[in-house]
Amino acid sequence: MVEETLVKRVSTVLSQSFYMIVEEVKSIYKTKTFVVFAVLMFLPVQLILVSYATSQYPQLLFEVEKAFFLNGILEEGVIDAFSDAFASAMGILIIRRGFIQASLGATTYYINIPIIAIVTLLTCGLVAAEREKGTLPVYVSKPVYRTQLVLTKFAAFALVSFALTALAYSTVYFTYALTLLGPLGMLFTGLPETISMLLVLIFFTWIFILDIGAITSLFSSIIDRSILAGVTSLIILLLLSILPNMLVIFAGVGIASFTKYFNIPDLINQLIDFYSLGFVEYYQNMWLIIKQTGFFSQIIISRMIDPGTALIIVILLIVIPLISACLITEKREVK
């Protein structure tokens, strides 16, 4: 037997991993869970967007009118000349407020529990299902590192979930922008003003999905039965996202200084808020909240976290569980 050089081994492993990811992606598309995932990604966002935009329309109209009036544009006889500008401004405002706020609401308040549930379901079998089925012994007795198996499966999941998230939000965004601004308006006014918001929304929703996926993968490598792994991580993730808020209500605001670091939906919510609004607007909003008194503003203030810290936490919550899952799979015997 001829020993390979390190370079050759690395290149073999990399090309092999690439082919493995391709095959995994192909196989994910054929699962039923994936279809449910896709539907859940699309439907709620759309429903909430439509209802939000309809309910908020008078308020937004008022704000735009006020802005035009203050700028002297809305004087008699001038309205017609600026009707296009008025429509654009209205459209952009709806996209900015309506789309982003509604999607934000959708991501963090309405679909966060369905997302947690479906992502858990989709990733709980990452290692456990192969153990259960008895295919893991076959795979790991081939010339392949176990870490490769875990990482390529996760990478395939990451790719698919990114495509789905991007598709779900872009579809809604472009439908919205096209109806409100028209093709030209969307291209020259809408996109430059609001595209960064869309990207931020897609990116952090994806990070949220990866967090859930990585944590579930960890349980999947520890627990032999995939359904048990899924339920365990589902319970833990739901507790992490619900318990902190409940604790704050029952045990006082002080507890949030500790629990806020583990509330993943809340971290993501704040990150989307921060990066889509921008530094100035974000802190202006915060300032408005701080100025208010009352219990709920207290809760919001108590949960505030520095965006940099939040970003590091949500990324570590992907990396650490994933590395642990790899190490555990490497070390554990395959019975």
Partner 1 sequence: MNAVAIRGLRKVFGRFVALHEVNLEVPEGVCFGFLGPNGSGKTTTIKIILGLLEPDGGEVYVFGRKAGSYEVRRRIGYLPERIEYHNHVLCVDFLKYVGILNHMKPSKAERTARDILVWVGLEGWEDQPIGTLSAGMKQRLGLAQALMGDPDLIILDEPTSNLDPIGRKEILDKVKELASEGKTIFFSSHILSEVETVSDYVGIIFHGRTIKQGRLHDIKRELIRRKAEKYELVVDKTSEVLSILTEKGVEAHVEGDRIIMFASNPGFLERLIPKVLVDADAQLMKFTPVGDTLQEVFLQLVSEVSLEEGESG
Q: Which residues bind to partner 1, rule: CB under 8 A?
A: 1, 3, 12, 16, 19-20, 22-23, 26-27, 30-31, 129, 132-135, 137-145, 333-335
Q: Please, which residues have CB within 8 angstroms of residue 321's CB and are 6 or more apart in sequence?
A: 214, 215, 217, 218
List, as own/partner pairs, every contact residues 242-247 make where C-beta atoms lie below 8 angstroms and the sequence separation is at least 24, other chains included.
244/303, 245/299
Minimum CB distance to partner 1, residue 29 (Å): 10
Residue closer to partner 1 (CB basis): 146 or 303: 146
CB 322 within 8 A of CB 214: yes
Minimum CB distance to partner 1, residue 38 (Å): 16
Residue closer to partner 1 (CB basis): 30 or 291: 30
Residue closer to partner 1 (CB basis): 118 or 197: 118
**Rounded to an integer, what distance in angstroms lies between the CA atom of residue 166 and that of residue 160?**
10
323 by Cβ neighbours in 10 Å (0-12 / 13-18 / 19+) ranks as middle
Minimum CB distance to partner 1, residue 140 (Å): 7
CB 261 within 8 A of CB 313: yes
CA atoms within 13 A on the CB side of 40: 21
What's the Cα-to-Cα distance from 22 to each of 36, 114, 130, 142, 172, rounded to whole Å?
22, 27, 18, 18, 28
Residue 49, helix vs strand vs coil: helix
Minimum CB distance to partner 1, residue 142 (Å): 4
**Rounded to an integer, what distance in angstroms lies between the CA atom of residue 299 and that of residue 254?**
10
Residue closer to partner 1 (CB basis): 139 or 174: 139
- From start to end of the chain, where are the E strands? none
Residue 160, helix vs strand vs coil: helix
Specify the residue for token string 């790719």.
Answer: 159
Residue closer to partner 1 (CB basis): 15 or 285: 15
CB 28 within 8 A of CB 155: no
CB 310 within 8 A of CB 204: no
Q: How many CB atoms lie within 10 A of CB 189?
A: 20
Minimum CB distance to partner 1, residue 139 (Å): 6
Residue closer to partner 1 (CB basis): 300 or 327: 327
Minimum CB distance to partner 1, residue 137 (Å): 5
Residue closer to partner 1 (CB basis): 131 or 303: 131
Minimum CB distance to partner 1, residue 22 (Å): 7
Q: Please, which residues have CB within 8 angstroms of residue 191's CB and are 6 or more apart in sequence?
A: 177
Residue closer to partner 1 (CB basis): 20 or 60: 20
Minimum CB distance to partner 1, residue 143 (Å): 4
Q: What residue type is assigned to position 80 of the chain?
A: D
Give the sign of the dihedral formed by CA 238, CA 244, CA 246, CA 250: positive
Residue closer to partner 1 (CB basis): 23 or 281: 23
Minimum CB distance to partner 1, residue 163 (Å): 20
